[in-house]
Amino acid sequence: MQNIAFETSKGGEKMTKKVMALLDAATGRMKCKVCGKEHFASVRSGGHYYKGSWQCVNGCKI
């Protein structure tokens, strides 16, 4: 049996994977890829989403 390490990132990458998938950019509707929970992201003026919008309310992580 091969021992495949769960090592997808080398050299300390700081990129965070988004658990939320944007379903509708117009309304900011997002869905969690893990648990399927949907919510509407808060959009700041200028079209930017709040940082927390990309996190599931259930705290799911990929």
Residues near Zn ion (CB under 5 A) are 32, 34-35, 37, 56, 58, 60
In the bound complex, what is the minimum distance in angstroms from residue 1's beta carbon to Zn ion?
31
Q: Which two tokens stand for residue 38?
A: 């949907």
Q: Which is nearer to Zn ion, 22 or 34 (CB)?
A: 34
In the bound complex, what is the minimum distance in angstroms from residue 19's beta carbon to Zn ion?
6
User: CA-based Rg of the chain, rounded to a whole angstrom?
Assistant: 15
Q: Which is nearer to Zn ion, 31 or 43 (CB)?
A: 31
Q: Which two tokens stand for residue 28?
A: 């900011």
Nearest-angstrom CA–CA distance, 30 and 36: 9
